[in-house]
Structure 1
């Protein structure tokens, strides 16, 4: 791997709930500097009203995402809480010498596991009426809420016509064609909802395969739970499933099926991808290349969708052989991904090279698994979050997924999670880092 000639990302903000030695050292240096200047060091840490203040090794960050206006980060944690972080305006100010201690502006307690969240595309912090978030919660209607106010603004029903139980979407996506419409992906099904129809079901639904009873997808279709969706700049909807299928749909997701294929079959004969189900599909800015991310895979696939849609490249060395979802992001011609070793790796020149590609450069971002790596729309700021479930018997999450949910989705159950857990806090060799960090690039 080549050495990065550019300066490494600079840490400008972090949550207080962390035991990272590097952050502690940074705060100690700040305190020492202030004391030398005759001042007292009092970091302003606002209370998180949604949880007890004692430290828990198991309350890790599952995911984080930027708001469309780039002012807010929404995180999901193991305790089934959604936390909103509004970043200070002077975050990147060269005059600011102190490390920002990030605290949640607001906390939303979920009644169950959160499977997917999505900001409204018109989100603008200066206009409170546009600050909307969609959330899919286990065995409940889809919810629309404000990250800064309690209560539910609207709900949308996705119900099985045969059993009359709620169907839980595993992916959500607003339509760029109509901001009042959003897609919900569930088991071999894509549904479209109208945001203005509170309390109602989808305005249209289609199955991604001929029959849910089929063990293989029919011609032109795909099987399995739709776990991820992304829309290209050309209006092509890409949908991926936990059963390792990818489907491409024209007309901003409302047109014909372009193609559907199994990831494992497409890469047959090449370097083994591992892979236990798709967790992300991401388009390049030009809409020409599609990146596929799987659980339990050390790489990222790059697909050229022109012509017959062939595999172009395999970005290796991700270090992500875990059932935990590890979020990846694409910005310009770069792919950013975190690994189980706390390292963030960067591959450059997306679409410019074929074959197996090593990361161009990397840096140590956390002391535990990097669960999300998300780039600010400006390309100048990176957010990362970390953590995994450690053996901490004192911590009980707000709720647990049912065994049927974990089996169908591929999410690890409490018993299976223990197999990937690290040592308990206080044990010899234990490393715990549950933190959200902001980096200046």
Structure 2
């Protein structure tokens, strides 16, 4: 062979690491320490040195993984600590022990300690006691009863629970009245009275074309009182001619002066809106006929929300917006496609729970109309002998009571079956005068006056049980309120009080002495006492707040205290 080849063969083994020649394994470590001092190393030497290092690192990684697989307790403990920081170790032991988990399941199902812990967490006894305490009927009922105390109500809504305070097991007792105000003119008789919606004052109309406002006597708010002084009006509002109708704003409240107003209509005059604080005219609604002539409304009624004023005319109802006085209005004919009522609309009334209003006319007709468009909904087959003068809906809007002039009955209609009369109530009305009647806020009692001065009270729940529309139902209670015609009657919205007004037009009957030689008159009206007044009556249960029997029993104001017009 060539000498150069031998030299290359002899040098190659000298450069091979001892491991490759079968030497010991410790030499790689020595060479790693000497590696930085080695000037040059071949690629083969570097790979031979790196191989044991990589193997060692791989062994360390495998060893660490094996340790992790063999010791799972610590990570499990950490997770358990995050989940249940109280006793993680014990719970892990319980998880490892087969008996205790079974016991825990049994404990969860039927055991004392978990049940106690759950009961402690839920505490059924104390919450039940707290709920019972919250639901205790004694204290809340007492608080509600305190809120419902009938002594000092704030308004008709707050006084709603006091509707049962009316007690007609005995005759109502007179408290006070106004006689001197109407004694100057014998012909100045009353035409009706109406309590304000908040019960703070009383409105009257009389033949002198004056509307008067009386404040509720302040003595009635006292816990104990006896006789009350005579009332005197705090406000007078004079119309230009005969007053046809008048009504309060339905949401009137003395706490809000903006709501304290009323509307009235009189002959040959527009509808006036009066301020109930100063008696001035706030505005007027001017209806015009087809000839562009000012015409007077014969009846008035505000919608339940007070946003519109409905006025009755001949075969027409005009609707004015309360906030826009003037002549702009909506005209609604009362007869559409030969259905409805004809003649002058003499009275209008709204149902509080239904979108309906009723119209009565002097032609003896009554019909129900939709508030939305004024379309007729139903026509009642009335049997009244005279023109309609008054309409009243029950508080729930289910029943309608109609009354007419020269008619001895008040008809009750069930609007769910308006094709027949439910029952009728008997009263004495023999003139053309408008005789008002009223329902108490609960709708149970209906009260009405008559031309003989009596006030009759009917329990409508008993009347409805008869189910006889032909038979006139007698009143539950009657008492002599006035010596003259009792034309107005109004029930206080939340106190057990009644207001009544009396009087009528008197006629002088000619004597027949020339014909028969007798000095007696032809008619009985001269024998009737003339009494023009308004009175307030107590109709609640006898107690400390009511006057004693010795103060009001058999009180005859016409002879002793009332100035009688003769």
Q: If the length of structure 1 is used for normalisation, what is the TM-score?
A: 0.75
Cα deviations by residue, 1:127-169 (Å, 9 ceiling, x for unpaired): 222211111121111111113324321111110122x222211
Aligned to 2:158: none
Larger Rg over CA atoms: 2
Q: How many residues align?
A: 353
Instruction: Say whether 1:339 aligns with 2:450.
Output: yes
**Structure with the higher helix share, 1 or 2:** 2
Separation of aligned partners in 2, 1:334 and 1:359:
10
Asked if 2 retains the 8 angstrom alpha-carbon contact of 1:390 and 1:421, the reply is: no
Gap change, CA 1:5 and 1:15, over 3 Å in 2: closer
**Cα deviation 1:30-74 (Å, max 9, x = unaligned):** xxxxxxxxxxxxxxxxxx6xxxx8632211101111111011111
1:353 has 2:463 as partner: no
Cα 1:421/1:148, change in 2 over 3 Å? farther
1:181 lines up with 2:308 in the alignment:
yes
Gaps of 5+ in 1: 18-47, 211-217, 265-272, 393-418, 424-428
CA distance in 1, matches of 2:256, 2:349: 26
Map 1:274-423 → 2, pairs under 5 A = 275-316=385-426, 318-331=427-440, 332-350=443-461, 351-355=464-468, 356=471, 357-378=473-494, 380-391=496-507, 422-423=525-526
Check the 8 A contact 1:244/1:262 in 2, yes or no. no
* Aligned CA distance change for structure 1 residues 245 and 200 (closer, same or farther; 3 Å): same
Using a 3 Å threshold, how does the CA distance of structure 1 residues 54 and 183 change in structure 2: closer, same or farther? closer
- Superposed CA RMSD in Å reads 2.3
Structure 1 pair 303–245 and aligned structure 2 pair: CA distance change class (3 A): same
State the shift of 1:421 in Å: 8.8
* Distance in 1 of aligned mates of 2:390 and 2:205: 17
Provide the C-alpha distance between the structure 2 equivalents of 1:70 and 1:253, rounded to a whole number of angstroms: 30
Mapped to 2, the partners of 1:378 and 1:313 lie a distance apart of: 27
Task: Supply the distance in 1 between the matched residues of 2:433 and 2:235 (Cα, whole angstroms).
Answer: 26
Q: Residues of 2 paired with 1:420 and 1:260: CA distance?
A: 39
CA shift digits 1:330-372 (9 cap, x unpaired): 1222110111111100111243432221111111111110011
Per-residue deviation, 1:390: 2.4
- Whole-angstrom CA distance in 2 between matches of 1:379 and 1:311: 32
Q: Which residue in 1 is equivalent to 2:349? A: 230
Q: 1:249 aligns to what?
A: 369
Q: Distance in 2 between matches of 1:295 and 1:420?
A: 20
Cα pair 1:345 1:363 within 8 Å, conserved:
yes
Could you say which residue in structure 2 is the equivalent of 1:168?
Answer: 296
In the alignment, the residues of structure 1 paired with residue 236 and residue 523 of structure 2 have an alpha-carbon distance, to the nearest angstrom, of 28
Please state whether the residue corresponding to 2:312 is helix, strand or coil: strand
Shift of 1:118: 1.2
Q: Distance in 1 between matches of 2:396 and 2:366?
A: 19
Q: Partner of 2:56 in structure 1?
A: none
Structure 2 stretches lacking a partner, 5+ long: 1-166, 509-521, 540-566
Equivalent residue for 1:259?
378
Deviations 1:201-242, CA, capped at 9 Å, x for gaps:
31x1111125xxxxxxx5322101111111112222111111
